[in-house]
Structure 1
Amino acid sequence: MSRARGAAAQKNPQGSEDKALLDATQAALDAEHAAVYGYGVVGGRVAADRKAEANAAYTAHRARRDALVRAVRDLGGTPRAAAAAYALPFPVTGADSAVRLAAQLEDRVADVYADLVRAGQGDVRADAAGALSGAAVRAARWRGSGVAFPGLAERA
């Protein structure tokens, strides 16, 4: 995320555009915190032949999380800390449910990056689009199929 954009946000922290960008960046950070936690569960239950894939996703989400912490600070905000634990959407009791969880984690991350694409401009938008794409590819690998417009699903 660009430092120039962050400096502009600090000069005008009340601007609605800046607030939308900070809110979307914080939401992406929240989703990355949850994904890092979730992949800890996935890695403990996934079959041996997919452990490397789970580890690669875990590493990718940690890197994105760390970048988002810096981005929130650059925007003049205080990064929200990870929760001690996160409620899982269903019990993860074996390899099949671990794969389902991984796909859902990636869908959630794609959703928030779609919001960041809408809120951002320039390098921020390009970086968020790359993160959305990465999440969509990982979700498709876990699920065995993709969705037409990842990150743009109807929300309740």
Structure 2
Amino acid sequence: MSALDATQAALAAEHAAVYGYGVVGGRIGTERRAEATAAYEAHRARREVLRRAVRDLGGAPAAAAAAYALPFRVTDPAGAVRLAAVLEDRVAGVYSDLVRATEGPARREAAAALKEAAVRAVRWRGGDVTFPGLAERA
């Protein structure tokens, strides 16, 4: 995968995460609302960084879709927490690809984003995975 393709994929994942956190924010309990808001803002910031990175690589940043399919219906705070963990796992996966596809400062930035997503996933889930970003890989 080229650096541009991996960066576009990470941008698409961030678009989806921002959308997903909109759903999380609408269903999350008050005790975790600040955490959801912080994650939402972190993904918005990463999205902006990736838009610039795509342009720097000579590409046109992919636009966000009007809506995204969620992996399951979210009807309560427990479902919102589960969705937040899934969103972070998905983002970690694309950042894992971006780490492999880049080098230098771009690789360090991708690794930092992977770490942030993995830490947020652990906080949401209450447990970790052995290799963040690689959990669904064969």
CA distance in 2, matches of 1:135, 1:155: 17
Which residue of 48, 52, 70 maps to 1:70? 52
Residue 154 of structure 1 and its aligned partner are, at CA, apart by 3.8
Secondary structure of the structure 2 residue equivalent to 1:155: coil
Which residue of 17, 23, 43 maps to 1:41? 23
Q: How does 1:1-150 map to 2 (within 5 A)?
A: 20-150=2-132
CA distance in 2, matches of 1:41, 1:102: 9
Shift in alpha-carbon separation, 1:101–1:154, aligned structure 2, 3 A: closer
1:105-132 CA-to-partner distances (Å, cap 9, x unmatched) read 0000000000000001010000000000
Q: Which amino acid aligns with 1:115?
A: D
TM norm structure 2: 0.98
Secondary structure of the structure 1 residue equivalent to 2:2: helix
CA distance in 2, matches of 1:122, 1:152: 22
Residue 94 of structure 1 and its aligned partner are, at CA, apart by 0.4
The structure whose Rg is larger is: 1
Runs of 4+ in structure 1 over 2 Å off: 153-156
Aligned to 1:5: none
CA distance in 2, matches of 1:128, 1:69: 14
Residue 47 of structure 1 and its aligned partner are, at CA, apart by 0.5
- How much identity, in percent, do the aligned residues show? 73
Unpaired stretches in structure 1, ≥5 consecutive residues: 1-18
Cα RMSD for the two superposed structures:
1.0
CA distance in 1, matches of 2:35, 2:136: 28
Residue 69 of structure 1 and its aligned partner are, at CA, apart by 0.4
Secondary structure of the structure 2 residue equivalent to 1:91: coil
1:81-126 CA-to-partner distances (Å, cap 9, x unmatched) read 0000000000000000000000000000000000000001010000
1:51-106 CA-to-partner distances (Å, cap 9, x unmatched) read 00000000000000011001000000011000000000000000000000000000
1:33-58 CA-to-partner distances (Å, cap 9, x unmatched) read 00000000000100100000000000
Q: Which amino acid aligns with 1:65?
A: R
Q: What is the total number of aligned residue pairs between the two structures?
A: 138
